[in-house]
Amino acid sequence: MYLRYLEELDTQGQKTASSDELAHLCGTTPAQVRKDLSFFGSFGKRGLGYPVHELTAHLRQILGLEREWKVVIVGAGKIGAALANYRGFRQRGFKIVGVYDNDPTKIGKPWGEAIVHDMADLAQDIQREEVPIAVLAIPSDDAQDVVDRLVGAGIRAILNFAPAQITVPPHVSLKSVNMAMELEGLSFALTNSLPSQGAA
Amino acid sequence: MYLRYLEELDTQGQKTASSDELAHLCGTTPAQVRKDLSFFGSFGKRGLGYPVHELTAHLRQILGLEREWKVVIVGAGKIGAALANYRGFRQRGFKIVGVYDNDPTKIGKPWGEAIVHDMADLAQDIQREEVPIAVLAIPSDDAQDVVDRLVGAGIRAILNFAPAQITVPPHVSLKSVNMAMELEGLSFALTNSLPSQGAA
DNA sequence: CTAACTTTGTGAAGTATTTCACAAGCCACC
DNA sequence: GGTGGCTTGTGAAATACTTCACAAAGTTAG
């Protein structure tokens, strides 16, 4: 989140930013900002604040965004399409090296700049190209099956959009986005008149 | 998350579930499960566990899922399409009452069961129909503008898929899903050999 | 160069959350 | 109906996180 705002400030040509300013932008407190950043190092100048451009570089480094990450998208449905078209990925160093589906009417068809591959080739392709990250955009029923194949092929991280509960071994990172669950969180907030979650 | 697993167990016909079992499923601890649930009431039976069916009903009540929530989708692009097609929303009591876009080539065209409406009508429709929730699936540049209009029209919660930082007044609940940021989280986990986030 | 002002970095204090551990309750079996 | 084996609910302890508050360090102005 800090990186997002710092990039914005950098684009606007701002040279430094105080913890107070960052806190205000991010909806947190100055002390929180300082503690968070101090965990990774001592980036600021007393009396002046944090050097915007330098700090963005540091954070990118910390997040591992200096390198390019190969990513496969599994599932050429609507969500897969939304993801494949999303320019933000490329911009941030995530290179989509393949889109996979098991629908014969989709395989071989063009898909943005890429072509839809047969899911049967998924495992071997990942293994050969050493792709570390997969984005899962397939129906729930197949999710765990596909995950197991991905894990077997050596995937190291999975971003899951299927509304299914899936499990992975400890050495694989898993992050699930469940849109229905997000809406349910809002339902809870509305039902209980909770205050806003603020920006995120 | 508990609700998800409980529903699964319920479908499978399981009558009761212990905190130990739920903890194992959810990747947490039995004590955590008991503390979490005890916050809302005393649902379990000692020596037996929690009554699966009853507890799902309780959780649905707590989350405000007994009623139907009207939802508008703003943006008839790929993400909007993925959301509109997603059966999970309807199943869980979220009724999509309208899809809006400002692209003249899309307005009036059918969109699943609905028709794409002109974004110019958005505010008045929300006000008239008293729609409490909006899902934002539009380009970042327009996001804050549209949010302001939604807020002005009396919206009470927003689920934002635009990769933009938006702000809302305190009485409005906001939840943002930023796919690039999710991937960056995985990048950090990979770069720093963090253990899995587990299921979610 | 000095003085007044700003802002970081960080121990210490204060909160919040998670885990422990165990009494109390419930079931099942004899 | 009593006994043994589970499992909850919950204070207390342990851990984690956030906020406070201030010395140290840098900046600006004169």
b/e burial code for range B31-66 (CB count within 10 A of at least 16 → b): eebbeebeeeeeebeeeebbbbbebbebbbebbbbe
pLDDT band at B199; cut points 50, 70, 90: very low
* d(CA A100, C1' D30) / Å: 70
Q: What is the pLDDT of residue B46?
A: 95
On the question of pLDDT at B117 being above 50, the answer is: yes
Q: What is the pLDDT of residue B197?
A: 54
- pLDDT single digits (tens) B15-42: 999 999 999 999 999 999 999 999 999 9
pTM comes to 0.90
Q: Which amino acid is at A23?
A: A
Mean pLDDT value of segment B82-102: 89
Strand ranges inside chain B, DSSP E: 16-17, 50-51, 69-74, 94-101, 110-111, 114-118, 133-136, 157-160, 173-176
Secondary structure of A32-98 in HEC code, one letter for each residue: HHHHHHHHHCCCCECCCEEEHHHHHHHHHHHHCCCCCEEEEEECCCHHHHHHHHCHHHHHCCEEEEE
B40 touches chain A (CB under 8 A): no
DSSP for residue B163 = S
Mean pLDDT value of segment A118-144: 96
- CA separation for the pair A149, A3 (Å, rounded): 34
Chain A neighbors of B79, CB-CB under 8 A? 79, 82
The residue among B45, B48, B49, B53 whose CA lies nearest residue B11 is B53
On the question of pLDDT at A200 being above 70, the answer is: no
Alpha carbon of A101: minimum distance to chain B alpha carbons (Å): 16
On the question of pLDDT at B59 being above 90, the answer is: yes
Q: What is the pLDDT of residue B158?
A: 97
C-alpha torsion angle, residues A84, A87, A89, A91 (rounded to 10): 150
Q: Which amino acid is at A91?
A: Q
Contact A156 B187 (CB under 8 A): no
- CA separation for the pair A135, A72 (Å, rounded): 6
